[in-house]
Each structure stands twice: as C-alpha cells, then as structure tokens.
Amino acid sequence: MKIKILTLFPNMFEGILGESILKRAIESGICSVELIDIRAYSLDKHHHVDDTPYGGGAGMVLACDVVDRAIAANTTDKSYKVLMTPQGRTYKQAIAKELASKEELVLICGHYEGFDERIRDYVDDEISIGDYVLTGGELAAGVVCDSVIRLLDHAIRKESSEEDSFSDGLLEYPQYTRPVEYKGVCVPEVLVNGNHKLIREYRLKESLRKTYLRRPDLLEARALTGEEEKLLKEIKEESE
Ligand code: SAM
C-alpha cells in the first residue's frame, strides 16, 4: 500500500514513522509513506499558503488553489483522498479496515483556522479522529497511518489484530504476563493451567464483561451468538 501525506509540517511525522512497527513495515516494503509539503505548491514568491477569511474573523485559512495543485500533482484515479477535519465522520476501527483495503491513501492535513470550504470538492472522504479540535491534521493523519498500517498483511501477526478491541465489536479480554503473583494479585488460575477450551471461554466471557461494563453501546450494535447470550446473562447476574 502507498500512503501519501499532504502537510505543511512534514517533520512532524519523523517520530511516528521512524519507530517500532511502522518503521519495520516501511523498511520491509509492506507500505510506503511519502510526505508532501503543501508549501511547495504555492506560486507566491514568499510561499504563502493561507489568507484571511472572507467576512472577517480570527485566524488564517488554507487557500484552495495551493491545496488543489498539491492534490492534483500527487494523485491518480487510484488514490483515495481523505481530508482530516473535525467535521468528518468519526474514526473507528471499521474505517481503519476500510482504508487498509485501498491501494493508495492520500491524507490531507489542514492547519491554522482551517481550509477554504471548496477544498472539500477535491476529496473522497473526510475523517475526524474525535470530538475535539487539534492545531493541525498531522496528529490525526498519524493516528490514521498507525491504525491502517498495523492492519496490513505481515505488519503484525494476524491473530494479534483480530483479537484487538473493536475488531469483532467487543473490547479485548484482560491480558497478563509474568510474574504469576504481583503484590498479592494473582493471574486468573484458568490462564495458567493450559486448558485451551476453558481459556477461550474465559476470554470470551471477560471480553463480554468489559464491553458490558465499559461500552454497553457496542453490545447494542452487535448480534450475539447463543453462547455469548448465555455468558452475558451470567455476567449480568454476577454484577447484581
Ligand atoms: N476551524 C476548524 C473547525 O472548527 O472545524 C478547525 C480547524 S483546526 C484548528 C486545523 C486543522 O486541524 C483542521 O483543518 C484539520 O485538518 C485538523 N484537525 C483538527 N481537529 C481535528 C480532528 N478532530 N480530526 C481530524 N483533523 C482535525
């Protein structure tokens, strides 16, 4: 997969792309990430990219002609162009999966007070990473890059991402590692005695319990199997 990020601050991505799983995925050719400086598409001799808003008001607005040229020069019919904006659809694991299936993803980062409304005509999608306002789209694009790249084949073990929270509509079950006892708190017995059938059942039940207690909205949106219905009934009785 190819990812292109159109930004005024390419250096902001050094840390995100230069460490851990993302670094390895890029080095091993699972994906490529190209940083494109929007400022290079300004025709102004001082490389201005923004201007004051029509009608007055605070801040500067990213100009549509500069961004249009940056998009046109760096995309083809195969590109899926996404504008990072607090006004977009709220980002979720299901959207990360959708984006991970694209051949080429182009993430466009706004900055300042925002961008000229007409830029919306040049993209395929608009994504918000949550109901709060960031200084610029760079952190949001970083979040999208990270969550998409880890879903690509061979970036991490498939079982690992399949069991993550949200992947099947539930939060993940509790995880433990050595030591078996820490400050008087022990790892649940079932996880150390090697019975895989019981471990699977324990994990499913605890996954349902966490989701029921922390994110009941996720359960409402999910069709439960017979086994899950039975376990959830037990959980409700246990928490009374
Ligand atoms: N005035 C704009 C508004 O109220 O919608 C917010 C502009 S914000 C200060 C500057 C840029 O940061 C936006 O154009 C967008 O690219 C990015 N941004 C801010 N919050 C974001 C969020 N929650 N999700 C995605 N991008 C965001």
Distance 149 CA to ligand 1 centre (A): 23
- The pLDDT of 188-209, averaged and rounded, is 97
CB of residue 84 inside a 6 A radius of ligand 1:
yes
Q: Answer whether 2-158 and 166-239 agree in fold.
A: no
Model confidence, pTM: 0.94
- What confidence score (pLDDT) does residue 53 get? 96
Give the pLDDT confidence of 8-39 residue by residue, as tens digits. Answer: 999 999 999 999 999 999 999 999 999 999 99
DSSP conformational letter for 123: -
Give the pLDDT confidence of 94-130 residue by residue, as tens digits. Answer: 999 999 999 999 999 999 899 999 999 999 999 999 9
Distance 122 CA to ligand 1 centre (A): 17
CATH superfamily for 2-158 is: SPOUT methyltransferase, trefoil knot domain (3.40.1280.10)
Task: Dump the DSSP string for 13-75.
Answer: GHHHHTSHHHHHHHHTTS-EEEEEEGGGG--STT---EEPPTT--SS-EE-HHHHHHHHHHH-
Confidence band of 163 (pLDDT split at 50, 70, 90):
confident
CB of residue 5 inside a 6 A radius of ligand 1:
no
Mutate to test the pocket of ligand 1, among 134, 138, 143, 144 (most ligand atoms within 8 A of CB): 134
CA atoms of 238 and 129, how far apart (whole Å)? 35
Where do the domains of the chain lie? Answer: 2-158, 166-239
Residue 181 scores a pLDDT above 90? yes
Residue 42 scores a pLDDT above 90? yes
Give the pLDDT confidence of 223-233 residue by residue, as tens digits. Answer: 999 999 999 99
DSSP conformational letter for 90: E
Q: CATH says 166-239 is which class?
A: mainly alpha
Give the pLDDT confidence of 55-105 residue by residue, as tens digits. Answer: 999 999 999 999 999 999 999 999 999 999 999 999 999 999 999 999 999
- What confidence score (pLDDT) does residue 164 get? 84
